[in-house]
Structure 1
Amino acid sequence: MAAQRSVIGPVVLVLVIFLVLLGLQSTEAVRVLPEDFARANNLASYSSSLLSERARQSMSRWLQRLDSGPSPQGPGH
């Protein structure tokens, strides 16, 4: 029991020091966002039909890259 108390003291002390140092640390904004940053969103400028067309084209390209034919026979297939 005395061995646990001798270990708990330094651990608590280190945690308190860590929390104090963490609280003293301050950060400032690296970049300030413009007032209308929501309008600058690229997705808002595209129509939904354009996005769905691009999604269809991407899926078509991905499916064309797949191997054709039967899958190999073997363990796990």
Structure 2
Amino acid sequence: MAARRSAIGPIVLVLIIFMVLLSLRCTEATRVLPEDFARANNLASYSSSTLSRQARQSMARWLQRLDSGPSPQGPGH
């Protein structure tokens, strides 16, 4: 039992050091955004009717992909 306790301490210490090293890792941007990214002409604007029509079309496509008919009878059904 004492050997097991003495092995747990170094393992926990290594895990803590590993977590600290992972949190210190720095990354750079993969791409640079243009300066005028936040301008109004770059933002897409949709009317509420356009959004609702697109939502209905998306739901219709998702529902068409569902299997029709009874569900399989098996364990858990």
Gaps of 5+ in 2: none
How far did 1:18 drift?
0.6
- Tell me the TM-score normalized by structure 2: 0.51
Q: Aligned-pair RMSD on alpha carbons?
A: 3.8
The 1:17–1:60 alpha-carbon spacing in structure 2 relative to 1, beyond 3 Å, is closer
1:66/1:24 Cα in 2 relative to 1: closer, same or farther (>3 Å)? closer
Shift in Å, 1:8: 1.5
Q: Name the aligned partner's letter for residue 5 of structure 1.
A: R
Unaligned 5+ runs, structure 1: none
What is aligned with 2:32?
32
Once the two structures are superposed, the pairs formed by residues 1-77 of structure 1 within 5 Å of their partners are 1-33=1-33, 34=35, 35-36=37-38, 40-42=42-44, 45-60=45-60, 71=69, 75=73
Which of the pair has more CA radius of gyration?
1
Q: Percent identity?
A: 66
Aligned pairs, number:
72
Deviation at 1:63, TM superposition (A): 5.6
